[in-house]
Amino acid sequence: MRTSLCDRLGIDLPIVGFTPSEHVAAAISRAGGLGVLGCVRFNDAAELDAVLSWMDENTGGKPYGVDIVMPAKIPAEGTSVDLAKLIPQEHRDFVERTLRDLAVPPLPDDTDERAGVLGWLHSVARSHVEVALKHPIRLIANALGSPPVDVIEQCHAKGVPVAALAGKAEHAVRHVDNGVDIVVAQGYEAGGHTGEIASMVLLPEVVDAVGDRVPVLAAGGIGSGRQVAAALALGASGVWMGSFWLATEEYLQTMGESEAMQRALVAAGSSDTVRTRIYTGKPARLLKTRWTEAWASPDAPEPLPMPLQNLLVSHAHNRIHHAADPTVVSMPVGQIVGRMDRVRPVADVIAELVSGYEETLSRLDKTR
């Protein structure tokens, strides 16, 4: 399992793993892939700096990358307090009522609550880029498409390639025109923010549109060697996996209180996700739980636009996480959740991807 992407990024396997957990990211890099650490959880750039220093010590000298969330156009910004004024009372009431109906307790007084939304802001994302570029990162990916051209140039000045997600071929073309070096083609089946075109159709379209200029990674629906082989058959130079790492042992090393979330994911089938605007205001695929069902009821308000929706539900997410009830989880995950049937070490996942890939190629040989 070796493509041109491996030489480009200095990795052994064309497997890029996006994760908010530094323990998972480091394990992916040590196993021969490229661990990409999601930065959106870091509201404080100094905290990101400390975690990247930890990465520098714990990847065994293997390359790693970071993932930011930065729109190419700068949206209206403000402090958390300014934005909060734009949230209608009807929405606040619905969230409170729903948490009560779902028996989600308030947070204990001494909880160190995450503020939410800040990591999605342009100013914060720029500070993430600046901090990350002081570390020996090998990739900066932007989960919202192209970063602004000046940020791309800033990365290139440090010799760091830039990846951007795309759900349509025309978006991929725009990214590459902006200077993006690697396109991640993300299909409908993916977790988190995702478009409507499924990977089987999207991936060859993106490859035909930009594949002679940049490598294309397949995101969405990947969790086995067969699926890696399918992605490469469709023209991808590698795969971008996000959901699958949520059910790894290393994930708990970073997010110690996530047992209920992992139990929910392991129990879920591929039909147990929903694409909805309730997480951030943009369509994103989440695990289907009593929380998402409440938002699908006839009396639920329309989700607010980005970034207000995330601000609205941020405190609720903290309460839900603390409640540790697998039936009331709020978690982005793709349809591949149906294959996440146990919690395993990262290295086991990657070993199975490699062996499954080789078995698939042997099987295809017999069709000639």
Helices (H), 64-183: 80-84, 89-101, 122-132, 149-157, 169-178
Residue 234 engages a copy of itself in binding (rule: CB under 8 A): yes
Q: Which of 224, 254, 258, 292 binds a copy of itself (CB under 8 A)?
A: 224
Site track for a copy of itself across 166-205, x = CB under 8 A? --xx-----------------xxx------xxxxxxx-xx
Residue 317 or 339: the one with the smaller Cβ distance to a copy of itself is 339
The phi-psi region of residue 201 (left if phi > 0; otherwise alpha if psi is between -120 and 50; otherwise beta) is alpha
Q: Which of 45, 87, 347, 361 binds a copy of itself (CB under 8 A)?
A: 361
Least separation in angstroms between residue 367's CB and a copy of itself is 6
Residue 38 engages a copy of itself in binding (rule: CB under 8 A): no
H/E stretch holding 4 reads helix 4-9
Supply the DSSP symbol for 21: -
Nearest-Å Rg of the Cα atoms of the chain is 20
Least separation in angstroms between residue 149's CB and a copy of itself is 26
Tell me the C-alpha to C-alpha distance, in Å, between residue 332 and each of 87, 190, 261.
23, 9, 11
Residues 6+ apart with CB under 8 A from 119: 39, 40, 41, 42, 43, 69, 125, 128
Q: Which of 139, 229, 278, 353 binds a copy of itself (CB under 8 A)?
A: 229
Residue 11 engages a copy of itself in binding (rule: CB under 8 A): no
Angle of CA points 224, 227, 229, to nearest 5°: 115
Residue 297 engages a copy of itself in binding (rule: CB under 8 A): no
Site track for a copy of itself across 331-350, x = CB under 8 A? ---xxx-xx-----------
194: tokens are 């995702």
Residue 233 engages a copy of itself in binding (rule: CB under 8 A): yes
d(CA 359, CA 368): 15
Residue numbers of the site for a copy of itself (CB under 8 A)? Answer: 1-3, 168-169, 187-189, 196-202, 204-205, 220-222, 224, 226-227, 229-235, 270-271, 334-336, 338-339, 358, 360-361, 363-365, 367-368
